[in-house]
A = this chain, B = another copy of it.
Amino acid sequence: MCELLGMSANVATDICFSFSGLVKRGGETGVHKDGWGIAFYEGKGYRSFHDPVASANSEVAKFIQHYSIKSTQVICHIRKANRGRVCLENTHPFSRELWGQVWSFAHNGQLKGIKNKPLKRYLPVGTTDSEYAFCWILDRLSEKFPTKPNGTAQLRKVIEETFRELATHGVFNVLMGDANHLYSYCSTKLSWLTRRAPFEQARLVDAEMSVDFQQETSKTDVVTVIATQPLTSNENWTTMANGEFSIFLRGKKHVTSLA
């Protein structure tokens, strides 16, 4: 399986601290050593960093741990290969453009029979179940909404239905983003935590490292972090229910729906 990390914030925020914990699980405190990737949204802009080597030993990961990229939304993934060999094109997050926005996607789990679903407009570059599922999601969105829908209610409904359908194929813990919304689905494991004033100190589970967020933030900052497993040992993470679909927007949990 794999591990996921997401962030949604109301102000451009770096993820160096959380990322420093996660990368250890890629070959040091965890077995997820088959490549990794991280995607940052900066306004409408999007950039991602990918490496097919273990994150715990990756030079690119070391760079990202120490270089502060400020972003309002982040999706990160470290991989333990199940379907699809270890190579660059099989590293998550995957990304595609739809309606002039970059959509990105990272997945934990396996989806039995997913490749029997026909694809049209979006095709996978690599060989993972996950990228295939992402292409199928975007095919469906672009078919239902040939142009960007007004308002978000309709879109949200279709995304939720699509996620629930995919979850019937196996394990589907997912983070998917456009430039504003972070869509999540918990099939078996996802936890989240919102940090806001008064900020306190946080201590990583996977590394001897702590940070005093009071020194790093301003009073109005609201930042939510989502992960397959809690990254800090002294904060109150909320475990999502199996079958929970949630949307995070500007740092806060915005919508939640249970099956």
Interface residue ranges, A against B (CB under 8 Å):
42-52, 59-60, 63, 67, 87-89, 91, 96-97, 99-102, 121-126
Contacts and interface: CB of A to CB of B under 8 A. Distances in A.
Which of A43, A48, A89, A124 has its CB near the most chain B CB atoms (within 10 A)?
A89
A121 B121 contact: yes
Given A45-B87, A45-B91, 5 more contacts: A46-B89, A47-B48, A60-B67, A63-B67, A99-B123
Nearest to A91: B45
Interface residues of chain A: helix, strand, loop or mixed (majority) = mixed
B123 A87 contact: no
- The 9 A-B pairs at the shortest CB distance, nearest first, are namely A45-B88, A100-B123, A45-B89, A47-B50, A44-B89, A42-B88, A63-B63, A59-B67, A100-B125
Contacts of A99: 123
A96 B122 CA distance: 10
Contact of A88 (B43, B91, B124): B43
Contacts of A51: 47
A143 to B, nearest CB: 12
